[in-house]
Amino acid sequence: MNDFHTASDLLLNKAADFFESSWPGADVDMLDDTLTIILPGGEQYVINKHGVTQQIWVSSPFTGAHHFAYQEGMWTCTRTHIELEDLLLDERNTYAT
């Protein structure tokens, strides 16, 4: 369980840095285990730890809900098998204005 919390804390901090540095005008707020990002157009991401399932849950304004499990050092979507970093990069490249 401790590995999950360590890995998920690192991921939330890395995601906050990603939005602050690569999505100009994004409002990034971390409270407890939840990262909320409001984009310049008003769209909102919510990324949080879900301790019961030991997953990271992402609510994307563009592609909906995703659940990521930590496997072999990577956060991988339980449905599509895309890595979380790749999802965020794809959305940034596709939807940023």
pTM for the full model? 0.92
For residue 43, pLDDT over 70 is answered with yes
pLDDT tens digit string along 62-94? 999 999 999 888 999 999 999 999 999 999 999
Q: Predicted confidence band at 97 (pLDDT cuts at 50, 70, 90)?
A: low
Q: How far apart are CA 38 and CA 47, in angstroms?
A: 12
User: What domains are there in the chain, each with its CATH number?
Assistant: 2-95 (3.30.920.10)
Q: What are the distances in angstroms from CA 80 to CA 26, 71, 83, 85, 91?
A: 26, 14, 9, 13, 15
For residue 1, pLDDT over 80 is answered with no
